[in-house]
Structure 1
Amino acid sequence: MRLDGSMRALCAAGALGVALATAAVPVRADDAPDETLRALADLVLNGVREQIADCEGRPRVLALAGPGTAALANPRPPLRWNPQLGEAAARHGDAMARTRLFDHVGADGSTVRERVDATGYRWQVIGENLAAGHPRLEEAVVGWLRSRSHCAALLDPRFTEFGLARTESTSPNDAYGTYWTLVLGRPR
């Protein structure tokens, strides 16, 4: 059976949906080891980078002709976990949960560049995606894909490494409850 481009895209979208659905395990900072979050993030983030073609309008899925062909058509390198970026993400996530300030600029006035520099990571390019109120990683990623600037950061081929943190607020009055911080980088 020969599939036209739109049918292939629909099948690829379904495959990505299955990948996200199987990753739909609530990951909590207090009940899941860091390795679980890293493995889940690696699967989901790299699946998005491999399958999503661009962020214009609704994100388009790369049409697949067979296994592995998306990687051939896709110049984006896979993201690798970096502990320094993870540290920067965790520090900012902790600060957002503590202060209930959901912003790229920290309550102390720090920027992602300053937070990453403080870890000793030497970077060529750096970026940050934030999400709040989503208990699961795939929900945060769907939100990022719906935002042109956040989607563009996820798909940016200049990024080769990432750090991710999920932080729970301890305040019962926190409107968000859960904070996600994704720091993307490329080392010098």
Structure 2
Amino acid sequence: MRLLPFLLPCLLALPVLAQKAKAPGKTPAKAAEPVKEAKVDWDGEWTLAASQSDKLDEQIEAHVKDLNFAMKLYWKKKLQSACKEFNKLDILAGESFSVTMGRERPIDTPADGTESDWKRSDDTVFKATLTKDGPTMIQTVIGDGHTLKYVYSMRKDGNSLALQVTYTHPKLDNPFSYKLVFKRND
């Protein structure tokens, strides 16, 4: 209690000492202006960076490992036929987007999320949509009882992108997901 009379004036003086003295004739610094986000350039040919990508067969094996023998074979075959690893990606951007994965037919969709039909090379018809928001583009392909969601994320360097693929099916307990990384061709 003896220290209280001595500490009380010091504690009351702290807010005054904490205030910064304004130098005469100087104006306060301007707040930093927000940096405009650079336009994302999706156009181009891209090549798979296999060392940075998931190994698809290993991912499928890990996903079905806890299923019984029959279901493991069934889902492994379904996942292998729907989920593909491709070495090349070709994107043409504009009012609409054309995305070609490997040697597959291009998926042509407007960038506003409007649904369009896409016929795969085996003549199976799917419904496809695409939306983009800055460095992210989401393409959804629905058909044959399953949904494939492709989330493209442009990296800051603009010369590489990550593609997160998610497969969902009403009879599959957990969605299956894997990542592919692509580098822009020069």
TM-score range normalised by the length of the shorter chain: under 0.3
TM-score by length of 1: 0.28
Bigger relative contact order (CA 8 A; separation at least 6): 1
Higher share of residues assigned helix: 1
Max radius of gyration: which structure? 2
Higher share of residues assigned strand: 2
